[in-house]
Amino acid sequence: MPHNILMPALSPTMTEGKLSKWLKKEGDKVKAGQVIAEIETDKATMEVEAVDEGTLGKILVPAGTEGVKVNALIAVLLEEGESVSDIKITASTPHPNLLPQGEKEQVRASKLPLPSAGEGRGEGGKRLLASPLAKRLAKEKGIDLSRVQGSGPHGRVVKADLSNVIPSPQPSPGGRGGSGGIDAKVLADAYQMPYTAIPNSMVRKVIARRLLESKQTVPHYYLTIHCDIDKLMQVRKEVNEGAQGYKLSVNDFIIKAAAMAQVKVPAANVAWTEDAVLQYSRADISVAVATPNGLITPIIKDAASKSLKDISIEMKDLAARAKDGKLKPQEFQGGTMSVSNLGMFGVAEFTAIINPPQCCILAVGAGEQRAVVKNGQLGVATMMTATASFDHRAVDGAVGAEYLAAFKKLIEETPVALLL
């Protein structure tokens, strides 16, 4: 009998995804374990393997469809001897996100109440007369029809009446429009500001939602330290001169120091829940990596126990696969804290937004020569600024300060210890 192919849950938090590409077409033979499609989730693009063998009889969700729910029927696999006529789909009309664009609009339109032609209500329930085209254009441009003098029969507003009307910018739902909650598209269209609309990927949408939730719900506080990294740079140089097959970066030292500081200050290695503060027994460091689709944070697990060489090799592999969208969920979901380093871009210092449910993110700037006072004497040192963002619900200010002090000591005084 035909086998249903359902939208898989590729991570514990996935509820829907984008079916970005079919790698098999209808009529193709499929073997168990073969990759048949690519799914774009909230973090990466991942491959879907067939669990049975047969012929791909019917594709029900076309490539490029967004918002496909987990366990939704996306295709049907036929066994040997079966034909397309054996496929019987008895489900009710699919969700609009499972239909091609044209059918999607028809389904949505069929569920809308039909207004009386050209009529509506303005402020105070005042009856408005406007052509359907004028109403549609007014909605797109954010124009209040009650403020427009109509030139049609009985004062009816027509398209020509809108040509010289400048709309009043309207707040977009949930402040999604950007600056001040004003819809950027409405403003750009109203004032003829040239732009190119770049569709938001699933990753970009999730990043936007999570960052907004973090800033709105997590009580951030920030602590900043300045680290002298001259000794670290010298140790790094000496190691790299004798290294074979790898080169240590400053970021490798930072990852190891961040993890060891968490082990030394376990009260900072925590996560907040309503019932309890979870104190982790190891340090898994999420490292921010910029990709074409947005930021992703692959994890160096148990980083405190790994050598700098292992961290360096593992980080290069994770970063490369992150940029290609090939990470597995367990490689980027979790982590006990995050490190974000913008030093390679010349950024001196910055603050970062916590990635819940983590309670700390360390924002690291560039190492640069600065005038410093040592033992009462003015001198020059290579300084690096690091700012930690903490969740005040789980990490008190004194604990945050203790953590940064431990991190600073590892970076400045004992960089050789990081090699062990």
For 330, half-sphere exposure in the C-beta direction (CA atoms, 13 angstrom radius) is 1
The span from the CA of 138 to the CA of 150, in Å, is 13
The span from the CA of 302 to the CA of 63, in Å, is 39
The span from the CA of 60 to the CA of 301, in Å, is 40
The span from the CA of 319 to the CA of 314, in Å, is 9
- Amino acid in the structure at residue 76: V
Q: List the catalytic residue out of 3, 95, 220, 392.
A: 392
The span from the CA of 180 to the CA of 172, in Å, is 9
**By C-alpha distance, which of 343, 255, 234, 261 is closest to 307?**
255
Which three-class secondary structure state does DSSP give residue 47? Answer: strand
Note if 392 is an active site residue: yes
The span from the CA of 68 to the CA of 96, in Å, is 9
Q: Are 130 and 120 in contact, with CB atoms under 8 Å apart? A: yes
Measured CA to CA in angstroms, residue 340 lies from 157, 162, 336, 351, 412 at distances of 54, 49, 14, 9, 19
Which residues have C-beta within 8 Å of that of residue 78, sequence separation ≥ 6?
2, 3, 54, 55, 56, 57, 84, 86, 87
DSSP 281-299: SS--EEE-EEETTEEE--E
From the number of C-beta atoms within 10 Å of its C-beta (0-12, 13-18, 19+), residue 241 rates as exposed
Catalytic residues: 392
